[in-house]
Amino acid sequence: MGEAREVMDRLTAAATETKDFRAVADCYAPGAVAMTPDQGEIRGGEAIADYLRQFSDAFPDIRYEHLRKHESGNVAIDEGYITGTHTAPLPVPSGESIPATGKQIRVRDCDVAIVEEGLITSHHFYFDQMEFLGQLGLLPEMPT
């Protein structure tokens, strides 16, 4: 296992197993940039850790179910599912929150991280927002 894979595995464990967001922030280089489907660009380890903490707070039983783990040079890629139960409010970019729905989710996810000198410098999060909102029951019913 290379350095990129080790850092990505450490990040996933800190965010979903131990919920140690100090350790999450420590996985990122000071100028790290994350790209997210829901909040766009996030800069810095602390801000990225706060982004992930919001999901952990809203889905206290959050887990990452790996389908595949890839590594090539300084790039680590995870493919899998984010699972959890929505039991607390989830902040959204507008400043409002989605109230707890009590619904369980299992949303397909892919993460791509570039690691330099043992720290993530770039992290792209990919998940389908429509699938996420649909599983929470937040999309209007489509006419048949």
Opening angle at CA 106, ends 104 and 109, nearest 5: 145
Three-state DSSP class for residue 4: helix
Instruction: For residue 98, give every residue at least 6 positions away whose Cβ sits within 8 Å of its Cβ, in sequence order, or none.
Output: 58, 86, 89, 90, 92, 136, 138
List the domains of the chain with CATH numbers. Answer: 3-135 (3.10.450.50)
Average pLDDT over all residues of the chain: 96
Tens-place pLDDT, residues 43-70: 999 999 999 999 999 999 999 999 999 9
- Residue 143 clears pLDDT 90, i.e. is over it: no
pTM listed for this prediction: 0.94
Tens-place pLDDT, residues 75-115: 999 999 999 999 999 999 889 999 999 999 999 999 999 99
